[in-house]
Structure 1
């Protein structure tokens, strides 16, 4: 049981919003058809599919307006989407990223390519390990940070990489260290 009737409760809520500086709710000027929804930001009536889902219901604003509001919030609170991403995902800011990169002399911590842009972190603890280039970061991810898998990959590369072998002075042949171990097709 409510203390105020619906009309009085609505008036009190509206007065409270005004005192807090929240502007009045906009309402559509014409009734909205079934399967449609009105967006208060752009003032357009659109299909329900044009509004992002919030579980069972739909957001108040259409997708373009919803995305613009998100961009504006990220810019206002974090100074941009990069800063937002670094803080939310890794718990660091752009200054910390720049410090880590400076400690690595501006190079990828693994391959030494200049200007890496990807934060490497331990997936179990979330701790940031360093700054890597796209390929090195993806490679570690593909190996699931498993040292045993990486060691087997190194062993594989050492045994299967084609190399130049000197067979006579000035004459080289391209061979794999394991090539001689493979059975011939006629045997």
Structure 2
């Protein structure tokens, strides 16, 4: 045991008081299993270090925080725990800021580091930026690569390789996802539609023949 340990406690080298072992944090890396400074002095030193690094002083609620609630330092409001995002990185199990403030901080960070939330999303999810996105849309003539609808906004990518394939409208992008990017399923859907949908066939300039579907049943009279 260290010489700073007495029969009933340990001497803190900062305040030079002999205090009970319970007044020291645990530290398994030290021979005595206790922190070098007492809890009070450790807190003071920690705050001094934060000030030197430019970290603002920790704020606390001016009102008692009831059980099941938490104080948000950004909006200075006590709210139920349900209004805070959960996290395993905090001892309390919840983020420091309520959901609106937490989201606002995320947006501010994205704008500060990436220029916009859109740029951050494109970079993180697809590995391209807004400039590359605009180039792809321009190469497609400013329309959806499948249906030709104007102003497509959704990035289509290969889920196996992450390779960006084109820019699609909401419906076409969702349709590919529902068919699981399978050419076989899409071909089957085309065959199915041709066999169950009335067809308009050109038989002479300006003359069309309406062909009935090969299968299916007509709607009931009550429908």
TM-score (norm 2): 0.72
Which of 16, 22, 40 is the aligned partner of 2:73? 40
Aligned to 1:131: 167
Q: Give 1 or 2 for the bigger CA radius of gyration.
A: 2
Choose which of 120, 125, 143 in structure 2 pairs with 1:84: 120
Give the structure with the higher percent helix: 1
- The residue that corresponds to 2:55 in the other structure is 22
Deviation larger for 82-91 or 26-35: 26-35
The Cα RMSD (Å) is 2.6
Q: Which runs of 5+ in 1 are unaligned?
A: 183-187
Residue 98 of structure 1: how far off its partner (Å): 0.8
Bigger shift: residues 86-95 or 6-15: 6-15
Which structure ranks higher in relative contact order (CA pairs < 8 Å, sequence separation ≥ 6)? 1
The residue that corresponds to 1:150 in the other structure is 186
Q: d(CA) in 2 for partners of 1:138 and 1:115?
A: 16
1:115 aligned residue (151, 165, 185): 151
Return the match for 1:65 from 96, 101, 115: 101
Provide, for residues 70-98 of structure 1, a one-character-per-residue CA deviation record: whole Å limited to 9, x for no partner. Answer: 22112212222211211111111100101
CA distance in 2 between counterparts of 1:178 and 1:131 reads 35
1:11 pairs with 2:37? no
CA apart distance, 1:31: 2.5
Q: Distance in 2 between matches of 1:166 and 1:97?
A: 40
CA pair 163-23 structure 1, distance change in 2 beyond 3 A: same
TM-superposed deviation, 1:38: 1.4
Q: TM-score, normalised by structure 1?
A: 0.85
Over 3 Å counting, the alpha-carbon distance change for 1:157 and 1:92 in structure 2 is same
Could you give the per-residue CA deviations for residues 101-129 of structure 1, whole angstroms, max 9, x where no partner exists? Answer: 12212121112222211100001111111
Query: Matched residue pairs, number?
Result: 181
